[in-house]
Chain A
Amino acid sequence: MTLVTAGFAIAGLLAMSIPILIHLLSRQRRKPVEWAAMKFLLEAYRKHKRRLQIEQLILLALRCLIIGLFGLALARPLLKNAGILDAGGDRIVYIVLDDGLASSVTDDDGSTTFDAHRDAAIRFVQELAPGDTVGVVLASQPVEIMLNPPTADHGAVVRLLEGLEPKASATDLDGAMRVLMDAVADTEAGTEDVTVFLLSEFREGSATLDAPLPAWRERRPDVRLVTLQPAVQTPTNVQVESIEPVSRVVLSSGAAGREQILVRLARQGDSLERDVSRVRLSGDGMAPVEPRAVTWDPGQTSADVEFMIDPIGTDDGEIVLTAEIDHDAVPDDNVRHVLLDLRERLRILLIDRRRFGFEPSVDRLSAGSWMRRALEPIDVSPMEVVEVEPAALDIADIRTTDAIILVRPDLIADDGWELIRTYVDAGGLLFIAPPGELNVHQWTETFTQAMDLAWTFDLEVDEPGGGLALADVQPATEVLSLLSSELEVLAPPVRVYRRLRVDTTDTDITPVLDLTDGSPLLIAGTPRTDTDGAVVSSNGLVLMLLAAPELAWTNLPSKPLMVPLAHELVRQGLSSIRSSVRHMVGARPRIRAMYADARALEHPDGGAITIDDSDGRPVAALTRSGVYTVRDRGNQSMGLMAVNVDPQAGNITAQSPEQVDLWLKASGDWSVFAADASEQLAGERDEGAPLAMWLLIAVLALVTVETVLARIFSHATRQRRESTGLQGSVRGAMGGSA
């Protein structure tokens, strides 16, 4: 026997103590009655003591039994295998509701797919037998199981369903099914009738057919799996897929002063006809730009729109760009936000040993000197280089730094590495190069450990005979994307005479510049931390030049590539970091990795979400898109954070019913019904055997017996009817002798 709601059974067992407690408490509370005729009372008591005790015990046992059985009845024990009882509502039903972005497809009349599914779920619940229990799982990220254990209060379930709205986050059917499988695991296989009712249209944004659902067939083959027919039509929907600035770091002192913004649109639909979409780009800190019209050719699914914006002002800050298109089938994916860093100058921290006296000749210039010259080739440069001694590195130095250039890593102490790591984790850019004067580079071990990078270096310097040139064809990387067209000309003249060799089989290595032998000269990577089995990537970026930028190692400092390379590595490196940090609706981003003192996130439409001190993330998933303000403990703004919908989550392309069927069948035997037939499902059930009704009948019978026995044992009826025989006439008072 299993219990649908074991809590009631426990409550019933606990409640059995109530009559006993009442009995004991009433014994203690009652004030004694002073009684003169104790002689007769004791005589009567001695004669009937045993009978009275038995009567009281019978009543007490009956009362305890009534309460216990009532609790057990509410707990709804199931005796499916007993075969002696009839069905009457013992089913456990889990409703899995797809409330992700793809479920918000809006009809012409304004109702969404989610509305139809919710109504179907409500009709289904209303048709269930009174004893059936219902649990609800919402499949949008993060998956939420709202009623567990399931409840038999169908009114409460309906009210809950009526209050639900589709969310802007992605659907995670796989996650919902896994959560559900864990919940169902608490029920007893073979003895309980469990039904899972999945309401989804299985559009591309909801169901990833490449990822199989959990195998219900293996774990719980007795669970009934029921779903609705997949959508077969795809209404036309245009979404703002992305906003791609050429660089996310905008320098107000830049020569051109204009920034190129690329807005990418995607279109889905069964009949992609010629159409026009209007794209509006707006934002604070930029001059207004005219909307652009995109003319869709028949069958065209994507389009790019280019905007040129003029940043206003020279103060450092963030520009919020919002791209928006006209309302269509899925409203939530028609808007997208991006943040640009507006900077007057970038502050570069150069960590190098300070030199005094006269500047040496060009052929003896240090790596630090070359990097400074490259970053500040002219007096009015958008880069400001600040030098600091490796041993004097302090948190004050790196707090306002946009990038760190480390040319003497061998002189960094352990606490210095910790500071640098903290800086990188918070979204900083680290450029590192080997010290030119060393032949053995043991510092690389310290460096890789401090950065959690799985990079392996040879300790000794490699000197390829005659030197190696940079390859003509270089890898396509984001940090050199603006320079890529020039590399074909600028790279070949560069030769490398000495270098550090790195094991290129390490998967964490991203080559940025390659030598002609295929080995990298410049590599990139992101530190990763293994926390409790979960790998967490840093927000920053590490770039490493494997040759010291000195003429003894390479002729790069003297070549035309040096200046644009240094500038692009810094600027695009920072842009790459900014673009890598993308926050999606439905997630709990690590806020404190970037804003250590962050306390809350505030949505522009109001409402704040507190940051959890334990993990530095919001206490709840972000359910709305928009530009959130990060607040510190003093409620001061620390920065902005753009949160957008996942374009893939809004992909409403209908998938082939056959493919969906195959995908579903891989996990179990699903029964497919039309949405308007959901109430019929409620009537279908396995033959079960609820004991609750019989227990309730037994309780009623026992209540009747208790009432009768209590009446008999109380002698109240007889007491009222009969006189004592000692009252009455004067003759009686004379003892009847007169």
Chain B
Amino acid sequence: MADSQSVRAEQYLAPETLVQLAPFELRAKMIVEGVMSGMHRSPYQGMAVEFAQHRQYVAGDDPKHLDWKVFGRSDKLYIKQYQQETNLDIILLVDASASMSYGTLTVKKDWGGTTASRARKLWTKFDHATATAVGLAYLCLHQQDRVGVCVYADELKTMIRRSSARSQWRSIVNTLSTEPVEEKTNLVKVTEQVLGKINNRALFFILSDLFDDPENIRQSLARFKHRGHDVVLIHTMDKQELEFDFAQPAPFLGLEGEGRVRVDPRALRDAYLEAVHEHVDKVTKAARGFGFDYVRLNTHESVGPTLAYLLARRNAQSKRSKTG
């Protein structure tokens, strides 16, 4: 990226957001197979220093892992297993479809922003999603995790390979801030493309307005689950999309080529909100069904509290599984 088009990375991170995220460390609920040491548990047991558990010896186990002290006391063969701390692969999937270019919050001075907001000076869902993504990236890189980014719409547009290098964060920021936002979305196809490039298990953050068929979303999540990945769905919506608070009849023009329809918003508001509710419920249930986290962001609200709550919850879950 040319420097002239780059955005100062600091603009993406409001001080209050960093303050809210600072106490938390992102912990993968799943065991990642990292190659570098980190703060996440590795599924490769036995080679590290931290004891994990005993299990009965079965034929084929390496005898060197036998716990002779237990054998001496109980006359039974047990294998000692250890937990190795490793680093986490984080993949940020950012939706850059045309619907993400919608926004109603006026951009204030020094907010930064992306190509989507520069034209109309409105803080779009894409701006909010990228801000959230770079915040997460900052946090993950800070704890030595490898972070990669995939920008998608109807297909995978841009991919930044995973890295925990210091320059990775700036690279992510520059890419996200200049990405065009104009195509339709196709999460199923993108899922296939992404999973084709990721071999090891990773934590995926999907930042999208999820304006897709819930069944498609469910299929995508199933694919992630099948490959053993963890997913956090960050559902980004504008306040107006959540409230539909228009006063006057007007023609509405779809951003992804849905056409144009003239409606009286006041008359349709209930039905619209019902449809949104139904969609959100289906997406939430699909995420829960696979054990994934679901977070809904309002572009008019601060990212900090919601993400802080998410990270706190994941920490708690991680500790419970560790002790349990």
Contacts and interface: CB of A to CB of B under 8 A. Distances in A.
A44 B296 contact: no
Contacts of B279: 39-40
Interface stretch (B2-10, B197-205, B247-255): B247-255
Contacts of A47: 271
Contacts of B310: 734
Interface stretch (A269-277, A439-447, A691-699, A717-725): A717-725
B272 interface: yes
A737 B313 CA distance: 11
Interface stretch (A11-19, A25-33, A68-76): A25-33
3 A-B pairs with least C-beta separation: A44-B271, A38-B254, A36-B102
A726 B294 contact: no
Contacts of B256: 36, 38
B273 interface: yes
Interface in A20-52: 26-27, 30-45, 47-48, 52
B241 A32 contact: no
Interface stretch (B151-159, B169-177, B223-231, B261-269): B261-269
Contacts of B277: 725-726
Contacts of A724: 242-244, 273, 276
Given A726-B276, A732-B296, 17 more contacts: A30-B248, A30-B249, A33-B250, A35-B252, A38-B255, A38-B256, A38-B259, A41-B252, A45-B271, A718-B270, A724-B244, A726-B280, A733-B306, A733-B309, A734-B294, A734-B309, A734-B313
A387 to B, nearest CB: 95
Contacts of B288: 735, 737
A713 interface: yes
Interface of B: 98-102, 125, 209, 211, 237-239, 241-246, 248-256, 258-264, 266-277, 279-280, 284, 287-288, 293-298, 305-306, 309-310, 313
B258 A38 contact: yes
21 contacts: A26-B249, A30-B248, A31-B250, A32-B250, A34-B255, A36-B254, A37-B237, A37-B241, A38-B252, A38-B256, A39-B211, A41-B272, A42-B254, A52-B267, A713-B264, A715-B267, A724-B242, A732-B296, A733-B295, A734-B295, A738-B313
A44 B274 contact: yes
A716 interface: yes
A535 interface: no
A516 B174 CA distance: 137
A38 to B, nearest CB: 3
A41 B254 CA distance: 10
A32 B102 contact: no
A635 interface: no
Output the residue of A37, A43, A724, A726 with the most chain B CB within 10 A: A37
A27 B260 CA distance: 13
A719 B245 contact: yes
Contacts of A31: 250
B266 A719 contact: yes
B242 A726 contact: yes
A409 B102 CA distance: 105
Contacts of A725: 273, 277
A40 B238 CA distance: 14
A40 B256 CA distance: 13
B263 A36 contact: no
A255 interface: no
Given A35-B254, A39-B211, A727 B243 contact: yes
A45 B268 contact: yes
Contacts of B238: 36
Q: Could you say which of A42, A44, A732 has the most chain B C-beta atoms within 10 Å of its C-beta?
A: A44
B99 A37 contact: yes
Nearest to A726: B242
A31 B251 CA distance: 7
A39 B277 CA distance: 13
Contacts of B250: 30-33
A384 interface: no
A26 B287 CA distance: 44
A52 to B, nearest CB: 5
A316 B298 CA distance: 106
Contacts of B254: 35-36, 38, 42
Contacts of B309: 730-731, 733-734, 738
From A27, A36, A735, residue with most partner B Cβ within 10 Å: A36
Interface string A440-475: 000000000000000000000000000000000000
